[in-house]
Amino acid sequence: MTLKVKYFAVLRERRGLAEETVEVEPTTAGGFTAWILREHSLGLPPALVRLAMDGTFLADDEPLRDGAEVVLIPPVAGG
Amino acid sequence: MTLKVKYFAVLRERRGLAEETVEVEPTTAGGFTAWILREHSLGLPPALVRLAMDGTFLADDEPLRDGAEVVLIPPVAGG
Amino acid sequence: MRFSLTREPITVSREPSPGAGGFVTFDGRVRDNADGQSVLRLEYEAFDEMALAEGQKLVEEAAARFELVDADVVHRLGLLEVGESAVVITVAAPHRREAFGACEWIIDQLKWRVPIWKKEHYASGESEWVLAQASPTEATDGLYDRQIRMPEIGAEGQQKIGAASVLLVGLGGLGAAVLPALAGAGVGRLVLVDADTVDATNLHRQTIYRRSDVGRGKAERAARFAKELNPSVDVAAVPEMLDAANAERLVQSCEIVVDGTDSLATKFLLNATCKRLGKTLVTASIHGFEGQVFTVTPDGPCLQCLFPETPTDGCVDTCAVNGTVSVVPAFFGVLQANEVVQSLIGGPVLMDELLLFDLAGKSMTKLRRWHRPGCRGCLGEFVSETPGWEVDTVEEAQERHADLQVVDIRELDEEPDGPVGSTRIPMGEWAGRVPEAPTLFICASGARSGRLVVDMRSRGVSRVYSLRGGVHGMVERN
Amino acid sequence: MRFSLTREPITVSREPSPGAGGFVTFDGRVRDNADGQSVLRLEYEAFDEMALAEGQKLVEEAAARFELVDADVVHRLGLLEVGESAVVITVAAPHRREAFGACEWIIDQLKWRVPIWKKEHYASGESEWVLAQASPTEATDGLYDRQIRMPEIGAEGQQKIGAASVLLVGLGGLGAAVLPALAGAGVGRLVLVDADTVDATNLHRQTIYRRSDVGRGKAERAARFAKELNPSVDVAAVPEMLDAANAERLVQSCEIVVDGTDSLATKFLLNATCKRLGKTLVTASIHGFEGQVFTVTPDGPCLQCLFPETPTDGCVDTCAVNGTVSVVPAFFGVLQANEVVQSLIGGPVLMDELLLFDLAGKSMTKLRRWHRPGCRGCLGEFVSETPGWEVDTVEEAQERHADLQVVDIRELDEEPDGPVGSTRIPMGEWAGRVPEAPTLFICASGARSGRLVVDMRSRGVSRVYSLRGGVHGMVERN
């Protein structure tokens, strides 16, 4: 399936881009998050990164929809 | 045709609502603006109110699309 | 500690200065402790020649900066016991505010700039030379460190910000939010334009002013604020209203113009002037919890592309009428400052969009703007015809119609004095009604009467007019 | 005006106060002009008994408020010629800043509170009783006028704002933008928490501080700012770091909590404490030109619903590392203040959404948050286990693996002193490489080493660890 991935904050910096389109096997929110963090050596454990699809955060076991736009949100600390 | 109309600033206050759906004969941006200002006694001449459709401001003679969302922007002066 | 009253002269010897009302003295003495250590005595040493020259410069700078009547500084050298005075600064000014400001400024600067060293002799028998304080230069060195660390800015971006000049027109709610952000960011030169004075009703949202500023010029107080925040920024105060006479000169003096005014006429005048002179204009307006912001670049679509007919100031209300809360102008002012920063570092600006934001619903709408062919604003012309349905004076309407009636549409409980010969028939009673004779409608500011007349004309009624500026406008002209 | 140096004692007679280093005197004298009129003399009259009582109260208040060593006020009554002193205020404090602050505060308050009247005798032969100044009450009367005019606020809304208490934790970039907006809006009570002192690198974005505040406590300086902006607001300064020991007491003291910190640990601690005590929390964080903001209400989803595992502070960087520009914290701080205002007037808040904004692209994303079943944060528990891949000390890792190697991955040009026994192999050399023995990686703050270790573990490498807090953390613990 095809996903449009948007990165925020430190993930955007580490990935070096704000968004990209990726091809993956059908998967869940948790599975995709773990895969993409590992794939690009983004340096954050999956438990600390949240994924949102269609404007809503997903639980780790929720499936992703083909063609969806997903947003990856890392913790942000600056103040 | 059916239009979803969104009002801003002083127009929202004078109309008493933020948005509504209206039924009108096929018309242009300028024609619709003049009609709706008159219809609801909104107290601004059409030349001073701009209409945007699909996120873009229109010229007065451009036609409106059935089912579109249109936004009415009055001049705003507060600072 | 005692408060007393006396009917005899208070004896404090000073030079007579009949024009001075505020005298402030600072007397810095040797304390018996420092950083937890018990101090027996202090020793001061100076590089005499340099200290005298720098000190003299400092005093003269203070006198000019705070418009002092007099200023005098004496510093002690050698060995001092606990309780002895090390430095005494006396300052005289017409008003107390400047006297306090100058006296504190002098001692702060003196500690930084004048080469005098201090040795502390402790009860323990030890002694140590002590540095008074970091120098202002050092303080500025780190000032932009966090900004330079941003990859989008860097040393090069900071250099561009420092070299830039910004004209900020209007020091109300928007301007008061733009100013700290730009002065903090280190914009090299700021020219602050506003003819108004600070009013008590401004303070809740114009948080660069203090209660003690009430009644004083906004431009001057805002300049003082910016200088205190960042002394390395060059700030000029222009206590004038921006109008056709000075617009060209003021706009020409800077690279970027920020419109923080609440006047539609001024916004359109700035738009035309910026277009003519090839300057970038960042404009914003607020209404309730909403507002809008966009940037007019030398090549992009302008404000007049959007509104070909310049609206008159009476057609919509300002914050003074509608009310506003601190967060709204603060939000849009910061967005304006961001447009300036982005513009300077080559980031994206709202050059062909208009950004609307609603702080209640936290919703944003961006609408695409475009060049209108033949736009006179883009050519630098200020379009300002009075529309046919508005008149500037009662006489102007009377000249058009001998049988004119003048109707005051304010409510019955508003101020009673309508113009001579007017009849009061409140706004509410005109719903669905049409006047029989040609009529000039009048309200307090011209907003309600304009609305009524526009509504009547849209229904085909001619020979109805609105008095621009309303009763308040008449009073101001008299 | 002359600057001079002397080796002889300076003669200014005053009571000896060996603990006082700063003496400030204000001497208010009769000027020869007022409002453009030429003045010959002044006449002062007092309601003696009341003036003495109120004046005494004022002096004692000043002494307590500014921690003075001494304060003395003498006011003259009767007929005074030009150049004579009308009032003399002398103040002694350990440091000059308090002496200046107290002296100016006393004269401002005296003019408002102490019943003394002034008659001006003009050169024209006329004379007039003059009111010194509007009273603080009068000034406050108009202060919220523009706010009350908003239909969403009104007198009722203003009353709610005035009755509210807000705990503001963190007085850095975000807090410095929240504070003026809330103090200006008239929030009744503000409790300001921060253990930090002002640093020169703060000033560009934390525009409530001045250069003269460098080295002084943020909580106290921020409180001073708020009091000067709006004296009718009750402000308390808490120069402590919010931690498990004081969180409950501080959060309990207010209705709404604003998180302006840059520590993930503090954010999650505040989240749990607010949930436990049924308080509303407005949280925000920034990174570069981006940031996020949302509100945790007593019934809504919380921060821990979003991140079940509390991130450690080393896992992402703060502004000190990444850099930031004035407009970014200003923008998100204003959004936080807006959440507070909306919450108080019953307007919409971001209670089940997270708002992301990018100030470069001016784009906004709102993402829906939901309750996670079994969330410990919602139950008021602070989840703070150290993850398995992080250790707090080198010894902790050595206890797990006798054959542990310690590798410093900082670049070769960074400070040279890694811990004893460590080998320096910079970050870049670890790409695609796996250590042969169990390894503890160390960098400056724990951010880079954490990233490297997380990456290795995601590839199946175990027995690799990161030192939490890095070399800086080790230094701080020693």
Say if residues C325 and D347 touch (Cβ distance below 8 Å).
no
In whole angstroms, how far apart are CA D140 and each of C298, D61, D151, D180, D231? Answer: 44, 21, 20, 16, 9
User: Exposed (0-12), middle (13-18) or buried (19+): which is C277, by Cβ within 10 Å?
Assistant: middle
**A45–D307 C-beta distance less than 8 A:** no
Distance CA C301, CA C372 (A): 7
Q: B72 to chain C, minimum CA–CA distance in Å?
A: 11
Give the closest residue to C319 by CA, choosing from C361, C263, C267, C363.
Answer: C263
Q: Mean of the pLDDT values across residues C6-31?
A: 76
- Out of C367, C450, C455, the one facing B52 most closely (by C-beta) is C367
User: Is D433 touching A (CB cutoff 8 A)?
Assistant: no
- Tell me, yes or no, if A40 comes closer than 8 A to chain D by beta carbon: no
| pLDDT tens, position by position, D314-331 | 667 666 667 888 899 999
- pLDDT reading at B6 higher than 90: yes
C387 interfaces chain B, CB cutoff of 8 Å: yes
Task: Please give the angle made by the CA atoms of C217, C220 and C221, to the nearest 5 degrees.
Answer: 80
Q: What is the pLDDT of residues D422-477, one digit of tens each?
A: 899 999 889 888 898 999 999 988 888 888 888 888 777 888 999 988 888 776 65
Of D6, D214, D355, the CB nearest to C362: D355
For the cut 70, the answer to whether the pLDDT of residue C1 exceeds it is no
Residues in chain C closer than 8 A to D76 (CB atoms):
5-7, 9-10
Instruction: Give pLDDT tens digits for C350-368.
Output: 999 999 999 999 999 999 9
Q: Which two tokens stand for residue B5?
A: 């109309």
How much is the average pLDDT of C190-214? Answer: 89
Neighbors of chain B with 3 or more C-beta pairs under 8 Å? C
The amino acid present at C59, given as its one-letter code, is V
B50/C contact by beta carbon, under 8 A: yes
pLDDT at D232: 85
Nearest CA in chain A to D336: A79
Most distant CA pair in chain B: distance in Å? Answer: 38
What pLDDT score does D9 carry? 62
What positions of C carry a catalytic annotation? Answer: 319
Is the model's pLDDT at C108 over the cut of 60? Answer: yes
Find where tokens 């019934």 sit.
D299
Alpha-carbon span D83 to C69, nearest angstrom: 13
Which ranges constitute the DSSP H helices of D356-410? 394-400
Strand partners, C363: C358
pLDDT at residue number A17: 92
| C contacts of D1 (beta carbons < 8 Å) | 59-60, 63, 70-72
Query: Distance from D4 to chain C by nearest Cα, in Å?
Result: 5
Lowest pLDDT segment from A18-27, B31-40, C151-160: C151-160
Tell me whether chains D and C touch (3+ CB pairs under 8 A). yes
Q: Does D173 touch chain A (CB under 8 A)?
A: yes
Could you give the dihedral angle defined by the CA atoms of residues D309, D310, D312 and D318, in that order, rounded to the nearest 10 degrees? 120
**Lowest mean per-residue pLDDT among C139-143, C372-376, D60-64, D187-191:** C139-143
Find the residue in B nearest to C306 (Cα).
B50
Say if residue D296's pLDDT is above 70. Answer: yes
3-state secondary structure of C446: coil
Tell me the Cα Rg of chain B. 12
Beta carbon pairs, A and D, within 8 Å: 118
DSSP codes of every residue in D121-172: EETTS-EEEE--S--HHHHHHHHTHHHHTSTTTHHHHHHHHHH-EEEEE--S
Q: Among D327, D340, D359, which would you mutate to test the C interface (most chain C Cβ atoms within 10 Å of its Cβ)?
A: D327
Q: What is the DSSP letter of B65?
A: P
DSSP single-letter state for residue B47: G
Residue B30, min C-alpha distance to chain C (Å): 13
Q: Which residue has the tokens 């230094």?
A: D475
- Specify the pLDDT at position D143: 83
> How close does chain C come to D128, measured CA to CA in Å?
18
- In this predicted structure, what is the pLDDT of residue D105? 81
Q: Which chains reach chain C with 3 or more Cβ–Cβ distances below 8 angstroms?
A: B, D
Q: Which residue in the list D319, D375, D378, D443 is annotated as catalytic?
A: D319
d(CA D333, CA D321): 20
- pLDDT of residue D10 exceeding 60, the answer is no
- The confidence band for C105, taking pLDDT boundaries of 50, 70 and 90, is confident
Among C366, C367, C372, most B C-beta atoms within 10 A, so best to mutate, is C367
Higher pLDDT pick, D4 / A58: A58
Q: Which residue has 């929030």 as its token pair?
A: D187
| B11 vs C contacts (CB less than 8 Å) | none
Higher pLDDT: D273 or D382? It is D273
Q: Does D301 touch chain A (CB under 8 A)?
A: no
Query: C170-180, pLDDT tens digit by residue?
Result: 999 999 999 99
CB-based contacts of A47, cutoff 8 Å, min separation 6? D307, D308, D309
Query: Which chain C residues contact residue D366 at CB under 8 A?
Result: 362
Q: At what angle do helices A29-39 and D447-458 cross, to 10 degrees?
A: 110
**Cα separation, A19 vs D438, whole angstroms:** 36
Q: Is D320 on the interface with C (CB under 8 A)?
A: yes
Residue A19 confidence (pLDDT): 93
State both tokens at D333. Answer: 């701080």
The Cα of B64 is separated from the nearest Cα of chain C by a number of Å equal to 16
Q: Please determine, looking at this structure, whether the domain spanning A2-73 carries the CATH number 2.60.40.60.
A: no
C455 interfacial to chain B (CB closer than 8 Å): yes
Give percent of chain C with pLDDT exceeding 70.
91
From the list D459, A68, A52, the residue with the least C-alpha distance to A60 is A52
* Angle of the D173-185 helix axis to the D327-345 helix axis, nearest 10: 40
Of the candidates D292, D274, D275, C412, the one whose C-alpha atom is nearest the C-alpha of residue D283 is D292
Q: Is B79–C318 a contact, with Cβ atoms under 8 angstroms apart?
A: yes
C/D interface, count of CB pairs below 8 Å? 387
Interface touch D24/C24, C-beta < 8 Å:
yes
A41 neighbourhood in chain D, CB within 8 Å? 455
Determine the 3-state secondary structure of B66 from DSSP: coil
Exposed / middle / buried, residue D136 (Cβ in 10 Å: 0-12, 13-18, 19+): middle
Tokens at D57, concatenated: 């109260």
**From D31, D70, D104, residue closest to C18, measured CB to CB:** D31
Q: Residue D327: what pLDDT?
A: 95
Q: Which of A65, A77, A78, A74 is nearest to A3 (CA)?
A: A65
| pLDDT in the model for residue C137 | 37
For residues D226, D230, D233 and D239, what is the CA-based torsion angle, rounded to 10 degrees? 10
What band does D15 get if pLDDT is binned at 50, 70 and 90? low
Q: Summarize the confidence of residues C336-361 as an average pLDDT.
A: 96
Which pTM does this prediction carry?
0.72
Please tell me the distance from the alpha carbon of residue D325 to that of residue D335, in angstroms, as a whole number.
17
B78–C372 CB contact, under 8 Å: no
CA angle D471, D285, D173 (to 5 degrees): 85
Determine phi and psi for A58, rounding to 5 degrees: -110, 155
Q: Indicate yes or no: CB of D367 within 8 angstroms of CB of A52.
A: yes
- Residue-level pLDDT at C314: 64
Q: How far apart (Å, rounded) are the C-alpha atoms in residues C373 and D330?
A: 38
Interior/surface letters D16-52, b for 16+ CB within 10 angstroms, e for the rest: ebeebbbbbbbbbbbbbbbeeeebebbebebeeeebb
What average pLDDT does range D396-405 have in this prediction?
89
Return the pLDDT at C300.
Answer: 96
Record: contact D286-A13, CB cut-off 8 A = no
pLDDT tens column, C287-332: 999 999 999 999 999 999 999 888 876 667 666 667 888 899 999 9
**Which one of B5, B15, B48 makes the best mutation probe of the C interface by having the most chain C beta carbons within 10 Å?**
B48
Range name among C32-36, C274-278, D242-246 with the lowest pLDDT average: C32-36
Task: Summarize pLDDT for D27-67 with one digit per residue, the tens.
Answer: 888 898 887 788 888 888 888 888 888 888 888 888 887 78
pLDDT > 90: what percent of chain D?
A: 41
Which residue in this structure is represented by tokens 């607010």?
A: D274
Cα C27 from Cα C88, distance rounded (Å): 4
**Would you kindly state where each structural domain of chain A is located, as residue ranges?**
2-73
Measured in whole angstroms, the distance separating CA D26 from the mean position of its chain's CA atoms is: 31
What's the CA gap between D176 and D222, in Å, rounded? 8
pLDDT of residue C461: 84
Average pLDDT for residues C107-133, to the nearest whole number? Answer: 77
> CB of C430 within 8 Å of any CB in chain B?
no
Which residues, in sequence order, are bridge partners of residue D323?
none
Averaged pLDDT of chain C? 86
Distances in whole angstroms, Cα of residue B11 to Cα of each of B7, B72, B74, C141, C315 = 6, 8, 7, 50, 12
Question: Angle CA(C56)–CA(C62)–CA(C67) in degrees, nearest 5?
Answer: 130
DSSP C313-349: TTSS--HHHH---THHHHHHHHHHHHHHHHHHHT---
Contact partners of A by the rule of 3+ C-beta pairs under 8 A? D
Q: What is the pLDDT of residues D131-174, one digit of tens each?
A: 544 344 344 567 888 888 888 898 899 999 999 999 999 999 99
List of residues 6+ apart from D177 with CB closer than 8 A: C330, C334, D329, D330, D331, D332, D333, D334, D336, D337
Q: What per-residue confidence (pLDDT) applies to C385?
A: 63
**Of the candidates D307, D329, D365, which has its C-beta nearest A79's C-beta?**
D329
Alpha-helical segments (H) within C164-217 = 173-185
A47 at D interface, C-beta within 8 A: yes
Touch criterion met for B and A (3+ Cβ pairs within 8 Å): no
pLDDT of residue C19: 86
Which strands, in side-by-side order, build the sheet including C423-424? C390-391, C464-467, C439-442, C405-408, C423-424
Partner residue opposite A48 with nearest CB, options D290, D307, D370 = D307
| Structure confidence at residue D14 as a pLDDT band (50, 70, 90) | low
Which of D286, D366, D454 is facing A76, going by the closest CB pair?
D286
Q: How far apart are CA D461 and CA D319, in angstroms?
A: 31
Averaged pLDDT, D65-74 = 86
CA distance D204 to D329: 11
Distance from CA of A1 to the nearest CA of D (A): 23
Whether D81 shows a pLDDT value over 80: the answer reads: yes
The nearest CA of chain D is from the CA of C247 a distance in Å of: 28
Beta carbons within 8 Å of D165's beta carbon, 6+ residues apart: D187, D188, D189, D190, D191, D253, D254, D255, D256
**DSSP β-ladder status, B56-57 and C2-6:** unpaired
Helix (H) or strand (E) holding B23: strand B19-23
Q: What is the pLDDT of residues D233-285, one digit of tens each?
A: 889 999 999 998 899 999 999 999 999 999 898 999 999 999 999 999 999 99
3-state secondary structure of B71: strand
For residue C279, pLDDT over 70 is answered with yes
Average pLDDT over chain D reads 86
